[in-house]
Amino acid sequence: GRPLTVVLLRIEDFRRYAERHGDVVAGQLLRQAGRTMRKYQRRMHLTAHYGQADGVFVSILSGMELEGASVYGKRL
Protein backbone atom coordinates (compact mmCIF):
# COMPACT_ATOMS: atom_id res chain seq x y z
CA GLY A 1 0.00 0.00 0.00
CA ARG A 2 0.84 3.65 -0.18
CA PRO A 3 2.18 5.56 2.82
CA LEU A 4 -0.06 8.09 4.54
CA THR A 5 1.25 10.77 6.89
CA VAL A 6 -0.84 13.04 9.09
CA VAL A 7 0.74 16.29 10.28
CA LEU A 8 -0.71 18.62 12.93
CA LEU A 9 0.48 22.22 12.79
CA ARG A 10 -0.35 24.91 15.34
CA ILE A 11 0.01 28.67 15.10
CA GLU A 12 1.84 29.57 18.27
CA ASP A 13 -0.06 31.91 20.63
CA PHE A 14 -3.04 32.04 18.28
CA ARG A 15 -5.58 32.55 21.06
CA ARG A 16 -3.69 35.54 22.42
CA TYR A 17 -3.35 36.93 18.87
CA ALA A 18 -7.12 36.55 18.32
CA GLU A 19 -7.93 38.25 21.63
CA ARG A 20 -5.61 41.15 20.84
CA HIS A 21 -6.58 41.70 17.19
CA GLY A 22 -10.16 40.43 17.02
CA ASP A 23 -11.97 37.69 15.15
CA VAL A 24 -11.82 39.31 11.71
CA VAL A 25 -8.03 39.69 11.72
CA ALA A 26 -7.59 36.25 13.30
CA GLY A 27 -9.70 34.77 10.50
CA GLN A 28 -7.49 36.48 7.93
CA LEU A 29 -4.44 34.91 9.58
CA LEU A 30 -6.04 31.45 9.42
CA ARG A 31 -6.88 31.88 5.73
CA GLN A 32 -3.33 33.04 4.94
CA ALA A 33 -1.87 30.11 6.86
CA GLY A 34 -4.09 27.71 4.90
CA ARG A 35 -3.01 29.25 1.58
CA THR A 36 0.65 28.97 2.58
CA MET A 37 0.27 25.31 3.52
CA ARG A 38 -1.48 24.50 0.24
CA LYS A 39 1.39 26.12 -1.64
CA TYR A 40 3.80 23.46 -0.30
CA GLN A 41 1.64 20.39 -0.80
CA ARG A 42 0.72 18.16 -3.71
CA ARG A 43 -2.74 18.08 -5.31
CA MET A 44 -3.60 14.76 -3.65
CA HIS A 45 -2.92 16.16 -0.17
CA LEU A 46 -5.53 17.71 2.09
CA THR A 47 -5.15 20.51 4.65
CA ALA A 48 -7.90 21.78 6.90
CA HIS A 49 -8.34 24.02 9.92
CA TYR A 50 -8.83 21.69 12.89
CA GLY A 51 -10.49 22.88 16.06
CA GLN A 52 -12.33 26.00 16.99
CA ALA A 53 -9.96 28.57 18.46
CA ASP A 54 -6.47 27.09 18.69
CA GLY A 55 -5.05 27.85 15.25
CA VAL A 56 -4.47 24.14 14.55
CA PHE A 57 -4.33 22.67 11.06
CA VAL A 58 -4.19 19.04 9.99
CA SER A 59 -2.49 18.00 6.76
CA ILE A 60 -3.09 14.53 5.32
CA LEU A 61 -0.20 13.71 3.02
CA SER A 62 -1.07 10.71 0.86
CA GLY A 63 1.90 8.90 -0.64
CA MET A 64 4.41 10.75 1.53
CA GLU A 65 6.89 9.04 3.85
CA LEU A 66 7.92 10.52 7.20
CA GLU A 67 11.06 12.12 5.74
CA GLY A 68 9.06 14.04 3.13
CA ALA A 69 6.54 15.13 5.76
CA SER A 70 9.40 16.46 7.88
CA VAL A 71 10.61 18.56 4.94
CA TYR A 72 7.04 19.83 4.42
CA GLY A 73 6.80 20.88 8.07
CA LYS A 74 10.18 22.62 8.02
CA ARG A 75 9.25 24.61 4.91
CA LEU A 76 6.26 26.03 6.72
Mind listing the pLDDT tens digit of every residue in the chain (76 residues)? 899 999 999 999 999 999 999 999 999 999 999 999 888 888 889 999 987 768 999 999 999 998 988 888 888 8
Alpha-carbon span 22 to 32, nearest angstrom: 16
Could you give the 3-state DSSP secondary structure of residue 7?
strand
pLDDT given for residue 48 in this prediction: 92
pLDDT given for residue 61 in this prediction: 93
Instruction: Tell me which CATH code domain 4-75 carries.
Output: 3.30.70.270
pLDDT given for residue 54 in this prediction: 85
Q: What is the pTM of this model?
A: 0.79
* Residue ranges per structural domain of the chain: 4-75
Residue 73 to residues 6, 22, 56, 58, 61, Cα–Cα distance (Å) = 11, 27, 13, 11, 11
